[in-house]
């Protein structure tokens, strides 16, 4: 529209104002710089935007997705990769201005715990194990155990969890379990084997001759004076009725 008058001219027209883009974190503080344990989802990360008509989101680890809808950017999911540090970038599209923001997702590497060597005990199976468990990480380490973590081990979190029931007869095996955590509370465990074996052979204090009659294993044990420090298991004893030398 064009108007003229004594004092000059007045012009009117339409002016289009494009709003300046903005982006603001709306999820709890720190969610844009978070550490994630293995197999756990990220805490959802959200941003509100103004002016933009969309957003490009790059740099996320596999398994994590980001999208823009109704002026909200949402980042969520469970990582399918194991470890690493990922810096993501959000770049707003449309509107006015080149507006970006960044955040970090760190996928934590779990700790590892390696038990000391197998403990071999020469005693009767079924008797109490008189080897005390390690009470501290220092004792565990001195015996040959080791904890490894990229994020630091909390030695005071070392715990003896217990012994499994014995398996087998001779030898018997017991699994002794220990755990420890890293500075992010991720736990590792290992099992130390304890093998119990009777290493003393049975003894014979009697003698066998052709004049003796053996009708059972019990007769054989009695006449031969067969003894064992851990007791005799009759199921492992057999005999033959072949003639014995006189």
Give the least confident one: 144-148, 164-168, 221-225: 221-225
Element (H, E) at 34: strand 33-36
Interatomic CA distance for residues 217 and 226, integer angstroms = 11
Judge whether 232 and 224 are in contact, CB under 8 Å.
Answer: no
pLDDT digits (tens, 9 = 90+) for 88-135: 999 999 988 899 999 999 999 999 999 999 999 877 666 676 789 999
Cis-peptide, bond into residue 222, ω within 30° of zero: no
What percent of the chain is modeled with pLDDT above 70? 70
Confidence of residue 2 (pLDDT cuts 50, 70, 90): very low
Confidence of residue 19 (pLDDT cuts 50, 70, 90): confident
In the numeric block, the tokens 């194990």 are attached to 129
Element (H, E) at 64: strand 64-69
Give the least confident one: 51-65, 92-106, 142-156, 212-226: 212-226
Interatomic CA distance for residues 200 and 31, integer angstroms = 64
The β-bridge relationship of strands 72-77 and 64-69 is: antiparallel
pTM: 0.63
Judge whether 186 and 37 are in contact, CB under 8 Å.
Answer: yes
Q: Taking Cα atoms as reference points, which of 161, 72, 151 lies closest to residue 115?
A: 161
**pLDDT of 155:** 97
Q: Taking Cα atoms as reference points, which of 77, 100, 75 lies closest to residue 21?
A: 100
């Amino acid at each position: 529209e064009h108007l003229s008058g004594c004092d000059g001219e007045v012009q009117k027209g339409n002016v289009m104002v494009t709003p300046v883009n903005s982006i603001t974190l709306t999820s709890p503080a720190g969610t844009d710089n978070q550490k994630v344990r293995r197999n756990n989802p990220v805490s959802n990360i959200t941003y509100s935007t103004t002016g933009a008509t969309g957003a490009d989101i790059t740099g996320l680890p596999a398994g994590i997705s980001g999208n823009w809808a109704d002026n909200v950017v949402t980042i969520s999911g469970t990582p399918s990769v194991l470890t690493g540090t990922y810096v993501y970038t959000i770049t707003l599209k449309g509107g006015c201005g080149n507006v970006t923001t960044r955040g970090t997702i760190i996928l934590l590497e779990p700790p590892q715990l390696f038990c000391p060597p197998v403990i071999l005990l020469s005693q009767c199976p079924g008797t109490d194990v008189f080897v005390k468990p390690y009470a501290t990480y220092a004792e565990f380490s001195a015996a040959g155990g080791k904890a490894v973590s990229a994020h630091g081990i909390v030695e005071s979190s070392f715990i003896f969890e217990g012994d499994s029931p014995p398996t087998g007869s001779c030898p018997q095996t017991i699994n002794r379990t220990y755990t420890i955590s890293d500075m992010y509370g991720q736990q590792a465990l290992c099992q130390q084997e304890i093998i119990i074996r009777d290493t003393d052979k049975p003894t014979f204090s009697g003698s066998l001759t052709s004049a003796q009659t053996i009708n059972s294993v019990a007769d054989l044990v009695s006449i031969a004076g067969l003894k064992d420090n851990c007791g005799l298991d009759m199921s492992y004893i057999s005999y033959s009725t072949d003639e014995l030398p006189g």
